Structure 1
Amino acid sequence: MSDYIIPFEVQVEIMTRLPVKSLIQFRSVSKLWKSLIDSSQFTDDYNAYQGRQQCLLIRYKDPHELHKQKYVCIVDDETFPQHKSALNAPISFQQLNNLRLVGSSQGLLCFHGEYPNPDGSFLHSRSEMAVIWNPSLNKSIEIEVPLLYDIHTTILGFGVCPNTCDPMLVKINDIYMPWQVEVFKLNSGIWRIQRCHLPRKLVEFTWSQVAIGRFIYWQTWDKISNIIVSFDMRREKFAEINLPDSLAHEPLETLSISKLRECLVVLHYYKQTEKEVCAVWMMELGIPELFSKLFTINTPGASLKLILGFRKNKEPIIETKTVDHEESATLHVYEPQSECIKDLEIHGECGSILMSSYTESLLFVNHPDGQYIKIKLQLSH
């Protein structure tokens, strides 16, 4: 008689559709299931499944609890926003200064900040750290970021290469002209000084970046017009994308980029009859330089501050200013068709709120939590 009533191949197919929490419990059921769930092939198949649960991660400082940082997960399905749960952020977040979200990819989120070495010392007058976090498993990896001089600006990009499922950091240094590029892949654990050149010599990068498929995109400026620079994680090459004329020559600070259903979008903030609004432009079919305007976000009865991201049904999550308290902000979901907003009942200090969508992932299932990777540099040939 067979050990399993259900054929093993069918069990595997079923497990690719289960939430991460259930799979972690199943690892204790049998050695066979643990071996399966821990395998790189199952992780790849699980990440490739299109029906994985999507969540929204929201971080904010609660003005009523001594400015405590809070991390909340909201399940992005038909019950939205009823299923909220608190998340325990990595311990390293408490030690990072100037913590910012770099981006998200394949269920992982990357944060960046200034961080001391384990012995309490600093590389120069400061040290920089990237923390890649899988909130589904509540596991993180800390990666020391090379810092040549204390005064230079570091721009990071983050993505998971879909061909290899290997998390990757791309670091751009402005101290060189043309800018120097360094690439880190988790599987190698080495920062490589990359012999690849940016499309233009005079480009100003911003921290506005997104990862979509095998590409990392940055919002940039070449002192003449706004352009988007992409990095192909598979080929490790840069390219540029020209924006429509209506966006190319707008002030840099009025633009940012985001993603909507794995499509690149450009957000254009401007005033309309003395009120702040935001136009949403999307790159069609993944074709560079083919952008179309989707809609304009015009919040009735609220003062728009920032577009934080999008739900999977295309609804934007927006931050609005609180009229009677300038230091406080509120999160709403905006419905483009009705132009109505719905309060998500999350209130935080202005400037402290960030949001990122992510899908459940098994990446890091075999990694110890809090793994620390020191700098190792290598010149790429």
Structure 2
Amino acid sequence: MKREKRQRIEADPIPLDLQEAILTRLPAKSLMNFLCVSKTWSSIIRNQRFVNSYYAMSSTIGSRFTIAFCCGSQAKFDDWRLFVFSSSYEDEKSSSLATTLHMTIPSVSSASGCLSVHGLIGCTIGGPFIVCNPSTNKYTILPCAGPRTFLGYDPVGDQFKALTMVSYPPPPQPQDFLVYEVLTLGGGESSWTCNTFTSLPHFTVTNSICINGFVYYAAWTPTRTTNPVIVCFDVRYERLSFIKAPMPVVCWEGESILIEYKGKLASIARHPHADFHSFDLWILEDATRHDWSQQTFELPFSLGMGRNITSPGTNKAGEIIFAPKHLSYDVQPYYIFYYNVDRKDMRKVRLLGIADDEEFRRRYKIAGQCYVSISPEHVETIASL
């Protein structure tokens, strides 16, 4: 009796470019788990070209919100955390957006201006500067020693940089100059580089925003209440310049609101100590000529006191978003508002899961006033510092 020979069938290996194409379509958290599957997959996922391809693919799928706030026990610092959420993809017909808690960062007692820059979140806090990636649940504490740090991204050089104001002018006497440090990030802490430069004295009054390789923030120069300007930092060439700004753009100091509007820097001006039922939209049309345009809009209904409402920016449809600055003290729904500048109408959308659950508040000992920072049009990335 003849024994049949079994034919060994070997499957052809999947081409490398096909493996990359498949991996770009997977969630970021899955990719982090797949780093341990094989050396080949680990090499693909960590490759900078793949990181860029993944970001480009995520950009075509759509953007989300990131929502961050700090809360904790009033009596114990160790109980404080920075909470980072993201929303589901936007649907213009929906009256709500689901949110997901991605990560908590311990021992952070205050945060403001948690800005999404090319998929990473930079958080200005009263201490070290934190950069986190909610898609991978990783964060880095940067060695930035100064009262203010701003995160920027250079799309040409494909580099993240942190701009730190090392010295700060104590009012009312201005200093002759300010000292800045620029930390170029990427490739691990051992490869970070730091440069120092000086600038004319100015008094910073807003958080920053990064648009197309430039970091902007509003300031007075050289002292308070005189010469309102927009400070412009060229991330690639590490140069600081000043753009003359109309008084309404900077006049309310910390109440000034800078946003990106249709790819340009813009400012929303309203009276912070009156009912928020109208606003002026100032748009920087030409930075070289310091040219600004201005439009006035009336809201269909008041959003309450102006000082309690801010704007994180716009969505892809160009609607201007308004949101409360703080969570409610007790369990209450958290709503954001979309204003359509063409139709002159406004819609109300609830963010589900932003500490509107009693059990959530109890578990994390959330009490007191929690400052909320929203960054619209956040795109997933697997980049790390």
TM-score range, shorter chain: 0.7 to 0.9
Equivalent residue for 2:290?
289
Structure 1's 246 and 207: CA in aligned 2 closer, same or farther, altered over 3 A? closer
Aligned partner of residue 96 in structure 1, secondary structure: coil
Structure 1's 295 and 276: CA in aligned 2 closer, same or farther, altered over 3 A? closer
Equivalent residue for 2:364?
none
Given candidates 97, 110, 121, the residue that maps to 1:82 is 97
Residues 1:318 and 2:322 are matched in the alignment:
yes
Equivalent residue for 2:75?
none
1:205-239 deviation digits (Å, cap 9, x = unpaired)? 12421011211111112243321111111111112
- Contact 1:255/1:266 (<8 A) preserved: yes
- Contact 2:62/2:379 (<8 A) preserved: yes
- What letter corresponds to residue 256 of structure 2 in structure 1? L
Equivalent residue for 1:206?
205
Deviates more, 1:260-269 or 1:346-355: 346-355
- Contact 1:60/1:354 (<8 A) preserved: yes
Structure 1's 102 and 297: CA in aligned 2 closer, same or farther, altered over 3 A? farther
Residues 1:335 and 2:371 are matched in the alignment:
no
Q: Aligned partners of 1:329, 1:272: CA distance in 2, in Å? A: 24
- What letter corresponds to residue 157 of structure 1 in structure 2? F
- Contact 2:82/2:111 (<8 A) preserved: no
Equivalent residue for 1:354?
373
- Contact 2:218/2:228 (<8 A) preserved: yes
Residues 1:182 and 2:181 are matched in the alignment:
yes
Residues 1:43 and 2:51 are matched in the alignment:
yes
1:263-282 deviation digits (Å, cap 9, x = unpaired)? 32211113899655332333
TM-score (structure 1 length as normaliser): 0.73
1:255-294 deviation digits (Å, cap 9, x = unpaired)? 2212245432211113899655332333348876344346
- Contact 1:281/1:291 (<8 A) preserved: yes
Deviation (angstroms), 1:248: 5.8
Aligned partner of residue 183 in structure 2, secondary structure: strand
User: C-alpha root-mean-square deviation of aligned residues, in Å?
Assistant: 3.8
Identity %: 18
- Contact 1:333/1:343 (<8 A) preserved: yes
- Contact 2:24/2:53 (<8 A) preserved: yes
1:104-145 deviation digits (Å, cap 9, x = unpaired)? 21111111334xxxxxxxxxxxxx201100011110011233
Structure 1's 242 and 59: CA in aligned 2 closer, same or farther, altered over 3 A? same
Structure 1's 186 and 351: CA in aligned 2 closer, same or farther, altered over 3 A? same
Deviation (angstroms), 1:30: 4.2
- Contact 1:104/1:159 (<8 A) preserved: no
Given candidates 159, 162, 181, the residue that maps to 2:155 is 162
- Contact 1:107/1:359 (<8 A) preserved: yes
- Contact 2:249/2:269 (<8 A) preserved: no
Given candidates 85, 91, 108, the residue that maps to 2:120 is 108
Structure 1's 71 and 133: CA in aligned 2 closer, same or farther, altered over 3 A? closer
Structure 1's 16 and 285: CA in aligned 2 closer, same or farther, altered over 3 A? farther
Structure 1's 101 and 162: CA in aligned 2 closer, same or farther, altered over 3 A? same
- Contact 2:282/2:294 (<8 A) preserved: yes
- Contact 1:58/1:71 (<8 A) preserved: yes
Structure 1's 321 and 281: CA in aligned 2 closer, same or farther, altered over 3 A? same
| Structure 2 spans left out of the alignment, 5+ residues | 1-9, 73-78, 170-174, 357-367
- What letter corresponds to residue 238 of structure 1 in structure 2? L
- Contact 1:308/1:319 (<8 A) preserved: yes
Given candidates 50, 64, 74, the residue that maps to 1:55 is 64
Q: Aligned partners of 1:301, 1:67: CA distance in 2, in Å? A: 34
Aligned partner of residue 342 in structure 1, secondary structure: strand
Deviation (angstroms), 1:48: 4.0
Structure whose CA Rg is larger: 2
Aligned ranges 1:362-381 → 2 under 5 Å:
362-364=382-384
Structure 1's 242 and 76: CA in aligned 2 closer, same or farther, altered over 3 A? farther
Deviation (angstroms), 1:22: 4.2
Equivalent residue for 1:237?
239
Equivalent residue for 1:266?
267
Q: Number of aligned residue pairs: give it.
A: 336
Q: Aligned partners of 1:321, 1:167: CA distance in 2, in Å? A: 28
Aligned partner of residue 104 in structure 2, secondary structure: coil
Q: Aligned partners of 1:225, 1:240: CA distance in 2, in Å? A: 11
Residues 1:24 and 2:32 are matched in the alignment:
yes
- Contact 2:321/2:337 (<8 A) preserved: yes
- What letter corresponds to residue 74 of structure 1 in structure 2? S
- Contact 2:120/2:133 (<8 A) preserved: yes
Q: Aligned partners of 1:329, 1:277: CA distance in 2, in Å? A: 24
| Structure 1 spans left out of the alignment, 5+ residues | 115-127, 148-153, 368-381
- Contact 2:135/2:381 (<8 A) preserved: yes
Q: Aligned partners of 1:283, 1:2: CA distance in 2, in Å? A: 59
Equivalent residue for 1:12?
20
Aligned partner of residue 216 in structure 1, secondary structure: strand
Equivalent residue for 2:145?
146
Aligned partner of residue 279 in structure 1, secondary structure: strand
Q: Aligned partners of 2:25, 2:90: CA distance in 1, in Å? A: 15
